[in-house]
């Protein structure tokens, strides 16, 4: 199968970042590095932030310490009450070199870093262009308290641009709807993004007064926060693995085919993304899809191939209610149990997550048993059943996701 070409927007962003980086590196090599001690101190902090990058950010700011240090250097006008002499080119060059150095272990492990590097170069370049030329011309001298507000405003605008850029990259790679992706990015910006902006502004102001001694003092809280985020990501991963292992009970007992719950969960999550569900809603949807068959353990005789769609409606509801009761005993979010309990309800009365799991589960069962051309046959059967059994918007979304998959577009994150 031929490898698909990168989307145009993705190529454009990477090209712009590469051109900016090359121009700044050449400019810095030509003019030399001013105030090397300051550049080294900020470079070490950026590299440390990248080294401790956490992998659970899913495209968002995964190295808050590195981002705060980079933005602080871009907005640094004084160091120990003495004016700095670095400009936009040196800011981008130092941040790029430090980010590359800190990303070496991640690259060696095969983790993708190109998007993060492109975002770092473009956002830091944006902040430096907004601040350095005007500061060097004396525009901000004598502003007093308004100077601190100016730094916060530039950082907030930079964070907004980064959220737009991140959402655009995700949309370009996956074809997920841009609006919901941007909404999730903005929500994430209000969290860790606000901490990054605040720390960047405070570090720039503190270094201007007391010098480089302020860097370790004001970077320590964000470093601890970053380490906590990494631990939290590890806990979430372990929690999800526990749920996935529990969901495999029906497979081990011979009630459902191997990998059925995992396939339904993965496809349900992509349909949910296509329909614009938030990250919290997607998590509930994924967990419900993983455990949607757990109620079958109450059956004395397994249903052939676990296809509960062939059972009478009352039996389907009994299985769904038993499954919900089991889920409630696991300590999972009660919303997950609610979705599982309502899988056999009439379609118009179901929550969106239950509609998605119901349609995707039916598609997976029908496609598995239909032989050659099974996916197309299964999708057509679902379309014919949209009058009462399956929601038309869910079936339409499922068709879009499957079409992207067949064209080689990645559908998973």
287 and 197: one domain?
A: no
Average pLDDT, rounded, for the chain: 83
Does any domain span residue 2? no
| Per-residue confidence band for 1, with pLDDT thresholds at 50, 70 and 90 | very low
For the chain, percent of residues with pLDDT exceeding 70: 89
Whose tokens are 């499957």? That residue is: 402
More confident residue, 51 or 309: 51
Whose tokens are 């993705």? That residue is: 10
Mean pLDDT within 242-271: 85
Does any domain span residue 60? yes
Mean pLDDT within 295-300: 74
257 and 211: one domain?
A: no
Question: Which range of residues forms the domain containing residue 341?
Answer: 248-406
* C-alpha to C-alpha distance for 125 and 119, rounded to whole angstroms: 10
Does any domain span residue 391? yes
208 and 76: one domain?
A: yes
106 and 145: one domain?
A: yes
165 and 284: one domain?
A: no
Q: Which of 410, 413, 361 is nearest to 385 (CA)?
A: 361
224 and 257: one domain?
A: no
| Per-residue confidence band for 256, with pLDDT thresholds at 50, 70 and 90 | confident
220 and 254: one domain?
A: no
Q: Token pair for residue 136?
A: 């060097």
pLDDT for 330 beyond 80: no
Cα 5–chain centre separation = 22
Q: Which of 340, 293, 305 is nearest to 321 (CA)?
A: 340
Domain boundary among 237, 263, 278: 237
* pLDDT recorded at residue 308: 65
* pLDDT recorded at residue 252: 81
200 and 309: one domain?
A: no
* pLDDT recorded at residue 386: 62
pLDDT for 340 beyond 50: yes
21 and 140: one domain?
A: yes
* pLDDT recorded at residue 260: 86
Mean pLDDT within 156-175: 87
pLDDT for 410 beyond 60: no
* C-alpha to C-alpha distance for 338 and 371, rounded to whole angstroms: 34
Does any domain span residue 221? yes
Domain boundary among 204, 237, 270: 237
Does any domain span residue 280? yes
pTM higher than 0.95: no
232 and 278: one domain?
A: no
* Helix or strand (DSSP H, E) at 249: helix 249-252
99 and 183: one domain?
A: yes
* C-alpha to C-alpha distance for 346 and 357, rounded to whole angstroms: 14
CATH number of the domain where residue 273 is located:
1.10.3210.10
Q: Which of 242, 245, 173, 206 is nearest to 80 (CA)?
A: 206
Q: What is the DSSP letter of 183?
A: H
Domain boundary among 215, 237, 259: 237
* pLDDT recorded at residue 355: 92
Does any domain span residue 242? no
Q: Report the number of distinct structural domains present in the chain.
A: 2
Does any domain span residue 412? no
Asked if 90 and 108 touch (Cβ cutoff 8 Å), the reply is no
266 and 363: one domain?
A: yes
Mean pLDDT within 382-406: 80
Does any domain span residue 3? no
């Amino acid at each position: 199968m031929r490898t698909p070409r990168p989307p145009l927007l993705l190529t454009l962003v990477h090209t712009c970042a590469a051109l900016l980086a090359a121009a700044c590196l050449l400019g810095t090599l030509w003019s030399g590095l001013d105030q090397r001690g300051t550049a080294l101190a900020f470079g070490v902090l950026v590299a440390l932030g990248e080294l401790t990058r956490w992998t659970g950010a899913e495209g968002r700011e995964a190295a808050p310490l590195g981002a705060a240090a980079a933005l602080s250097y871009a907005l640094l006008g004084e160091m120990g009450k003495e004016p700095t002499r670095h400009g936009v080119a040196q800011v981008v060059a130092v941040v790029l070199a430090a980010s590359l150095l800190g990303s070496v272990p991640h690259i060696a492990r095969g983790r993708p870093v190109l998007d993060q590097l492109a975002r770092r170069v473009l956002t830091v370049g944006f902040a430096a262009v907004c601040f350095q030329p005007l500061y060097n011309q004396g525009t901000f001298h004598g502003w007093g308290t308004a100077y601190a507000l100016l730094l916060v405003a530039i950082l907030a605008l930079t964070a907004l641009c980064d959220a737009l850029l991140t959402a655009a990259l995700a949309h370009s790679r996956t074809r997920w709807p841009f609006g919901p992706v941007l909404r999730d990015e903005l929500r994430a910006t209000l969290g860790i993004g606000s901490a990054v902006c605040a720390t960047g502004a405070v570090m720039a102001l503190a270094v201007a007064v007391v010098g480089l001694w302020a860097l370790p003092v004001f970077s320590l809280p964000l470093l601890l926060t970053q380490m906590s985020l990494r631990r939290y990501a590890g806990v979430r991963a372990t929690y999800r693995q526990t749920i996935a292992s529990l969901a495999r009970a029906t497979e081990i007992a011979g009630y459902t085919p191997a990998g059925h719950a995992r396939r339904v969960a993965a496809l349900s999550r992509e349909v949910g993304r296509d329909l614009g569900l938030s990250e919290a809603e997607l998590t509930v949807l994924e967990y419900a899809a993983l455990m949607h068959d757990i109620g079958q353990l109450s059956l004395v005789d397994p249903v052939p191939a676990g296809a509960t769609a062939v059972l009478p409606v009352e039996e389907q509801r009994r299985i769904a209610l038993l499954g919900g009761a089991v889920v409630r005993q696991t300590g999972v979010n009660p919303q997950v149990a609610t979705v599982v309990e309502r899988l056999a309800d009439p379609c118009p009365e179901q929550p969106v997550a239950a509609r998605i799991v119901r349609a995707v589960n039916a598609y997976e069962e029908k496609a598995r048993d239909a032989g050659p051309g099974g996916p197309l046959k299964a999708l057509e059967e679902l379309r014919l059943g949209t009058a009462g059994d399956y929601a038309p918007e869910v079936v339409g979304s499922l068709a879009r996701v499957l079409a992207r998959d067949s064209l080689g577009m990645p559908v998973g994150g």
